[in-house]
Amino acid sequence: MILHVDMDAFYAAIEQRDDPSLIGKPVVVGGSPTGRGVIAAASYEARKFGLHSAMPGAQAIRLCPQAIFIKPQMQKYADVSKQIRKIFNRFTPVFEPLSLDEAFLDVAGSAKLFGDAEKIGRMIQSTIAEELQLVASVGVAPNKFIAKIASDFDKPNGFVVVQAAEVTDFLDQLDISRVWGVGPKTQKTFQRLGVQRIGQLRKLPKATLQQLFGLNADHFWRLARGIDTRQVVPDRIAKAVGHESTFPQDIDSDAVLDSWIWELADQVGRRLRRNQIRGKTIRVKIRFHDFRTISRSKTITARTNASRQIAETALNLLRTVRNEQRDSIRLLGVSVGGLSGQSNQQQLLFGQEQDQQTKQIDSTADAIRDRFGSAAMKRGSTLDR
Mean pLDDT of the chain: 87
| Overall pTM surpassing 0.75 (yes/no) | no
Torsion of CA 79, 84, 90, 93, to 10 degrees: -90
pLDDT tens across 211-254, in order? 888 878 898 999 999 999 989 988 655 678 888 888 878 899 99
pLDDT tens across 177-206, in order? 898 888 778 888 898 889 999 999 999 988
Distance between CA atoms of residues 98 and 230, nearest Å: 14
Name the band, by pLDDT with cuts 50, 70 and 90, for residue 80: very high
Q: What is the DSSP string of 222-277?
A: HHHTT---PPP----S-SEEEEEEEEEEEE--HHHHHHHHHHHHHHHHHHHHHTTE
Q: Taking 90 as the threshold, does the pLDDT of residue 36 lie above it?
A: no
How remote is the C-alpha of 99 from its chain's centroid? 5
Mean pLDDT, residues 98-102: 88
Question: Under CATH, which number does the domain 10-74 receive?
Answer: 3.40.1170.60
Neighbours of 188 (CB within 10 A): 9
- End-to-end CA separation in angstroms for the chain: 40
Q: What is the DSSP string of 328-353?
A: -EEEEEEEEES-EEGGGPPPPSS-HH
Roughly what angle, to the nearest 10 degrees, separates helices 74-91 and 10-18?
100
CATH class of 168-224: mainly alpha
Residues of the chain with CATH 1.10.150.20: 168-224
How remote is the C-alpha of 194 from its chain's centroid? 32
Beta bridge mates, 331: 246, 287
Residues of the chain with CATH 3.30.1490.100: 240-384
Q: Among this protein's residues, is 102 annotated catalytic? A: yes
| DSSP 3-state of 21 | helix
Phi, psi of 158 (to 5 degrees): -80, 155
Q: Are strands 240-251 and 329-337 parallel, antiparallel or unpaired?
A: antiparallel
Looking at residue 160, what DSSP letter applies? Answer: E
Distance between CA atoms of residues 311 and 221, nearest Å: 38
Neighbours of 199 (CB within 10 A): 16
Q: Strands across the sheet with 68-70, in order?
A: 39-42, 27-30, 68-70
∠ CA(324), CA(328), CA(284), 5° rounding?
Answer: 65
Fold for 240-384, please state it.
Dna Ligase; domain 1 (3.30.1490)
Mean pLDDT, residues 16-28: 96
**Per annotation, catalytic residue among 15, 45, 96, 102:** 102
